[in-house]
Amino acid sequence: MSLHHLQNRILRIGAMCLVILSLQTASSPMVGTPAPALPAETLPPLYTFAITADMRNFAGEGLYDSALYYRGALQALQAAGGADFMIVPGDLDPTTGVDWTIDQTLGADFPWYPVIGNHELPGQGNETTSGANLAWLQAYPLGSVNPGPAPCPATTYSFDRPPAHFAVLNVYCDSAGPDVTDGDITNILYDWLAQDLAATTQPYIFVIGHEPAFPQPDLDNGFINHLGNSLDQYPDHRDRFWSLLHERGVTTYLTGHTHTFSAVSIQDVWQIDAGHARGLGDLRAASTFLRVKIYPEWLILETYRANALQEYSWRQSILLDGPPQAYLPFIRR
């Protein structure tokens, strides 16, 4: 085991223990009051990115253009300090509705990166005609990115925001096209990712896909969803994928699909499930948005969740990566 992996193992085992202990402390401040500054945060981060997922049709014009649904999560994100860009790990159908709400709330020029989910597959979600959501994603202006393999060059891609590398996966892609599997890391996808990760020199790496490799219970109420029919339905491919993430020093796998929030470290790789950001659209688990703050020597995840009135509050900050000697003060609630 490399020194880097050994340090991260010590760091992340401690992180999970402190997250559990943090649940016993006082209630969180409401959004609008910044999350408490951590001792090492004497300078502003290099940048901050947000994560929202699985809002589906609870966005767009009309009935769901309300603070009780996706718009409310984005308004709370702004109140919490905003972000330089956002990643949406899937299930944003209809795509035009989510795009409209982001434009109206965060601004027409706000950069965000969509990830295909199972409900963007033709006939699997809300769309004007079969295939409309997939066509929208394939035409989305991503800017300067590295395209994915030939069957899914627009829905699998990677890009750098130094000091981080981001690799977005279409987990429904195989040699026959971009919408032919039920959630898997196929050979063609695995091979592309292996080459992409081998080429990056960035110290922090985020891989993003709609379905979790290891579905987890919700942090607050223990609700578990899509166990056995996420990437775990193909355990050999899942394990090969996770081994690649570990071997290449990937920091975090970002995902959605389950509508539950969780953050766990498995073999030195964080799996962060962003839950759902649809507000009242799903009451099985609290509506959630995340912020990741990137510093030269550490990464900090901030979690925000809504109460029954869809008022969002900061829940905890988790050190995803950083020097062990600076570690202990970083988990708060």
Q: How confident is the model at residue 322 (pLDDT cuts 50, 70, 90)?
A: confident
Instruction: Calculate the alpha carbon distances from 13 to 92, 156, 247 in Å.
Output: 33, 32, 18
> Using CA atoms, how far apart are residues 136 and 125, in angstroms rounded to an integer?
13
| CATH number assigned to the domain covering 3-28+130-327 | 3.60.21.70
CB 263 within 8 A of CB 301: yes
SS3 content of the chain, % helix, strand, coil (to 5): 25, 20, 50
- Average pLDDT of the chain? 88
Residue 17 has pLDDT above 50, yes or no: no
Q: Where are the domains of the chain?
A: 3-28+130-327
| pLDDT tens digits along 45-89 | 999 999 999 999 999 999 999 999 999 999 999 999 999 999 999
Tens of pLDDT, residues 227-276: 999 999 999 999 999 999 999 999 999 999 999 999 999 999 999 999 99
- Residue range 201-220, pLDDT digits in tens: 999 999 999 999 999 999 99
Would you call 153 helix, strand, or coil by DSSP?
Answer: coil
Find tokens 């290891």 and name the residue: 214
Distance CA 299, CA 265 (A): 14
Tell me the sheet residues that pair with 30: 313
The whole-number average pLDDT for the span 289-311 is 94
What are the beta bridge partners of residue 317? 302, 332
Residues 6+ apart with CB under 8 A from 136: 95, 96
Tokens encoding 267: 């073999």
- pLDDT the model gives residue 29: 38
Residue 225, CA distances (Å) to 67, 220, 230 in order: 26, 14, 9
